[in-house]
């Protein structure tokens, strides 16, 4: 067979692809439109209505948003969520980075990498229940250890001061291994030769960490941070299982407030407005983070 | 301080030791390295301790736990916790041992979780693979633009779609059904499409062309060529999808109201709420968490290497 007919044959087949392609993306498109785009539009529309699920939704313009601005519970929820995100992301990033660098420098064992991933396999509910038990005021082994050390017991889930740091750290436990593996993957993209060259020049491990690892890891670290911050803002499961927002409103994060408004008070309009606020907040945070970490650029070239 | 560095040292190159003994072993562990290992071990203990504590508590008898809360081994060893979880104890026995006496239809919840996670995984991965094929191997106008729209949906936060999706499921009359829990996840996730597309693009063109010349259709190429050649990535995304679906709590909590559609995560939350506040059934609760986590841990044990390496892949992208 000579070359030209083959190419023609190929080109001929290519022309047919459109119909087949449309067929192949049909299910995915149904999913995309029905469960991503349509809810997005509907949620925005609902935020301008008053609706209790029983009588028809009534358009009330910006009323929900006006209510939100003067709603102390909303501002409290925002504050609590922000505090949670700061602790969760702050600690998680440092621990995960440490873990990733240790994994890279000490061992390549898959066993080690699998072990750190173990908490990621359990659900938030399981993680919440285990720590509810470990950190129980009377019987929890955490408080037993504090007592042995001669320290006062801490009501981890019952004290207004401790509840958010505690929940934040429970989720650090669950996600640190996963985040570490993402960072570890980024570390693998840094050429070995750079470390070798630095070592020849007599650079110490710590110096190499700050001069090579951190700068070259920046784009990936930036992306990992953006993903974890978005996830972190949406905390719900752990709070719902451990404290359900208490004590008082000390752990009433935004998601829990949205859930309460919708499913306890049947105020779907207001709940939707709260979701829109969370969406806008996420967009601003993501944009700022992207700019600050310059996640789109690499220093590798 | 990797092995490569050591090997490139001039004094080791070409000497007798270079090929017989791995160079790494000849290094004396430095202080820094010891400190690093200590930190690593501490982090591993933090990671794994809660699993041990689950097991230790689950194997204790509940009433004894209150007397010896800090024993490192199971207190008054007992299978009672597990028996309560599996409904093998009579109500009286359960209450005597600190259980709530509420019936736990464990096998049903387990079955529901299996149905939901399996259904979502099978459909989502298959439909996502179909779309990924169209976006990587088929030639059609507007392909890249449509793909960009799909990627855009990655930006929509889960929370935002949950309330409207709940309303939609309600309008479809699917509240409190397993199908209602599964439906939003059945068609695709942008991530799965993106993930599979990366691999499909790497299947060599020549293989595909050879099949086409032999008269195979593009559909056939997809089923008997692309899918088998991408078995690894497909398995990986399937496991990740399965773990995510299995562990989901918020969405099933919204949709499910009765035992009919209750999945394990929601049942665990309920189990906790039913537990008496004054003296919770900790051994029963920990037995339940352990049993709920076990399927994913077993799944992971089988596929650990693949999953761990695939996370490497997703991290770079």
Q: What ipTM was reported for this prediction?
A: 0.87
Q: What global pTM score does this model have? A: 0.86
pLDDT higher for A43 or A220?
Answer: A43
Determine, for residues A185 and B316 on separate chains, whether the beta-carbon distance falls below 8 Å.
yes
Strand pairing partners for A108?
none
Neighbouring C-beta atoms of residue B105, cutoff 10 Å = 13
Cα separation, A118 vs A126, whole angstroms: 12
For residue range B216-257, list pLDDT tens digits in order: 888 999 998 999 988 888 988 898 899 999 999 999 999 998
Identify the band that residue A137 occupies on the pLDDT scale cut at 50, 70 and 90: confident
What is each CA distance from A84 to A76, A229, A254, A259, B95, in whole angstroms? 12, 10, 11, 18, 38
* Chain B closest-CA separation from residue A40 CA (Å): 6
Give chain A's length.
Answer: 301
Cis peptide before A247 (omega within 30 of 0): yes
A188 burial type by CB count under 10 A (0-12 exposed, 13-18 middle, 19+ buried): middle
Cα separation, B159 vs A258, whole angstroms: 9
For residue range A201-218, list pLDDT tens digits in order: 888 888 888 888 888 888
For residue range A22-81, list pLDDT tens digits in order: 999 999 999 999 999 999 999 999 999 999 888 888 899 899 999 999 999 999 999 999
Considering only CB atoms, which chain B residues are within 8 Å of A286?
Answer: 155
Determine, for residues A182 and B70 on separate chains, whether the beta-carbon distance falls below 8 Å.
no
Cα separation, A218 vs A233, whole angstroms: 22
Look at residue A267 in the predicted model and tell me its pLDDT: 93
Interface with B, mutate which of A22, A35, A98, A115 (most B CBs under 10 A): A35
E-strand stretches of chain B: none
The answer to whether B216 and B155 are in contact (CB under 8 A) is no
Of A50, A66, A62, give the one whose Cα is nearest residue A261.
Answer: A50
Q: Please say whether the dihedral angle defined by the alpha carbons of residues A3, A9, A15 and A17, taken in this order, is positive or negative.
A: negative
Interface with B, mutate which of A122, A138, A187 (most B CBs under 10 A): A122
| Residue B177 pLDDT > 90 | yes
3-class SS of residue A59 = strand
Cα separation, A278 vs A270, whole angstroms: 12
Cα separation, B48 vs B56, whole angstroms: 13
Tokens at residue A271, please? 């709940």
Determine, for residues B168 and A38 on separate chains, whether the beta-carbon distance falls below 8 Å.
yes
User: Nearest chain B Cα to A175, which residue?
Assistant: B47
Give chain B's length.
Answer: 317
Determine, for residues A178 and B1 on separate chains, whether the beta-carbon distance falls below 8 Å.
no
| Residue A295 pLDDT > 80 | no
Mean pLDDT, to the nearest integer, of B138-147? 91
Determine, for residues A130 and B43 on separate chains, whether the beta-carbon distance falls below 8 Å.
no
Q: SS3 string of A196-223?
A: HHHHHCCCCHHHHHHHHHHHHHHHHHHH
Rounded to the nearest integer, the mean pLDDT of chain A is 88
Residue A235 — left, alpha, or beta (φ > 0 → left; ψ -120 to 50 → alpha)?
A: beta
User: Nearest chain B Cα to A19, which residue?
Assistant: B140
The answer to whether A176 and A95 are in contact (CB under 8 A) is yes
Mean pLDDT, to the nearest integer, of A85-110? 90
| Residue A120 pLDDT > 50 | yes
pLDDT higher for B87 or A48?
Answer: A48
pLDDT higher for B86 or A102?
Answer: A102
pLDDT higher for B26 or A170?
Answer: A170
Tokens at residue B227, please? 């899918």
Identify the band that residue B269 occupies on the pLDDT scale cut at 50, 70 and 90: confident
Strand pairing partners for A59?
A49
Tokens at residue A256, please? 């829990």
Q: Which residues contact A209 (CB under 8 A, 6 or more apart)?
A: A101
Look at residue B312 in the predicted model and tell me its pLDDT: 61
Interface with A, mutate which of B247, B254, B277, B280 (most A CBs under 10 A): B247
């Amino acid at each position: 067979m000579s070359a030209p007919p083959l190419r023609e044959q190929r080109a001929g087949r290519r022309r047919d692809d459109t119909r087949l392609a449309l067929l192949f993306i049909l299910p995915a498109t149904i999913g995309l439109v029905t469960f991503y785009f349509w809810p997005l539009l509907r949620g925005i529309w609902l935020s301008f209505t008053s609706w209790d699920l029983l009588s028809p939704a009534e358009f009330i313009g910006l009323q929900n948003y006006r209510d939100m601005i003067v709603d102390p519970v909303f501002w409290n929820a925002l504050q609590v969520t922000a505090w949670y995100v700061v602790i969760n992301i702050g600690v998680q990033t440092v621990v995960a980075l440490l873990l990733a660098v240790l994994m890279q420098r000490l061992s390549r064992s898959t066993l080690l990498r699998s072990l750190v991933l173990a908490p990621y396999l359990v659900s938030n509910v399981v993680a919440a229940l285990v720590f509810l038990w470990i950190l129980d005021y009377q019987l929890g082994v955490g408080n037993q250890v504090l007592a042995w050390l001669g320290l006062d017991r801490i009501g981890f889930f019952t004290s207004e001061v401790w509840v958010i740091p505690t929940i934040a750290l429970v989720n650090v436990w669950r996600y640190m291994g996963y985040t570490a593996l993402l960072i570890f993957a980024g570390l693998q993209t840094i050429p070995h030769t750079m470390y070798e060259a630095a070592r020849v020049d007599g650079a110490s491990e710590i110096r190499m960490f700050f001069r090579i690892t951190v700068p070259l890891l920046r784009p990936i670290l930036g992306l990992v941070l953006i993903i974890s911050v978005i996830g972190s803002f949406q905390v719900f499961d752990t709070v719902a299982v451990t404290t359900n927002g208490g004590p008082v409103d000390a752990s009433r994060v935004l998601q829990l407030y949205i859930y309460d408004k919708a499913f306890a008070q049947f105020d779907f309009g207001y709940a939707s407005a709260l979701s829109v606020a969370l969406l806008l907040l996420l967009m601003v945070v993501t944009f700022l983070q992207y700019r600050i970490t310059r996640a789109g650029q690499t220093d590798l070239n | 301080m990797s092995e490569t560095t050591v090997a490139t040292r001039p004094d080791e190159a070409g000497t007798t030791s270079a090929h017989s003994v791995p160079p790494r072993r000849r290094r004396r562990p430095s202080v820094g390295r010891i400190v690093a290992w200590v930190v690593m071990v501490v982090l591993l203990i933090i990671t794994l301790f809660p699993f041990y504590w689950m097991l230790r508590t689950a194997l204790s008898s509940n009433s004894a736990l209150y007397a010896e809360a800090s024993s490192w081994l199971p207190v008054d060893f007992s299978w009672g916790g597990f028996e309560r979880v599996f409904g093998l104890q009579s109500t009286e026995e359960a209450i005597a041992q600190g259980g709530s006496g509420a019936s736990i239809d464990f096998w049903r919840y387990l079955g529901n979780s299996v149905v939901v996670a399996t259904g979502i995984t099978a459909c989502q991965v298959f439909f996502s693979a179909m779309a990924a094929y169209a976006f990587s191997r088929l030639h059609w106008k507007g392909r890249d633009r449509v793909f960009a729209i799909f990627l855009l949906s990655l930006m929509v936060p889960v929370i935002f779609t949950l309330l409207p999706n709940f309303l939609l499921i309600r309008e479809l009359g699917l509240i409190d059904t397993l199908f209602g829990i599964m439906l939003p996840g059945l068609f695709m996730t942008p991530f799965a499409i993106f993930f599979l597309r990366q691999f499909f693009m790497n299947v060599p063109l020549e293989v595909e062309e050879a099949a086409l010349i032999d008269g195979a259709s593009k559909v056939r190429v997809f089923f008997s060529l692309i899918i088998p050649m991408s078995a690894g990535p497909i398995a990986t995304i399937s496991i990740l999808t399965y773990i995510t679906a299995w562990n989901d709590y918020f969405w099933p909590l919204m949709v499910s109201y009765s035992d009919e559609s209750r999945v394990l995560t929601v049942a665990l939350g309920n189990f906790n709420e039913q537990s008496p506040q004054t003296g919770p059934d900790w051994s029963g609760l920990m037995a339940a968490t352990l049993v709920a986590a076990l399927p994913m841990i077993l799944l992971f044990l089988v596929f650990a290497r693949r999953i761990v390496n695939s996370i490497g892949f997703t991290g770079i992208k």
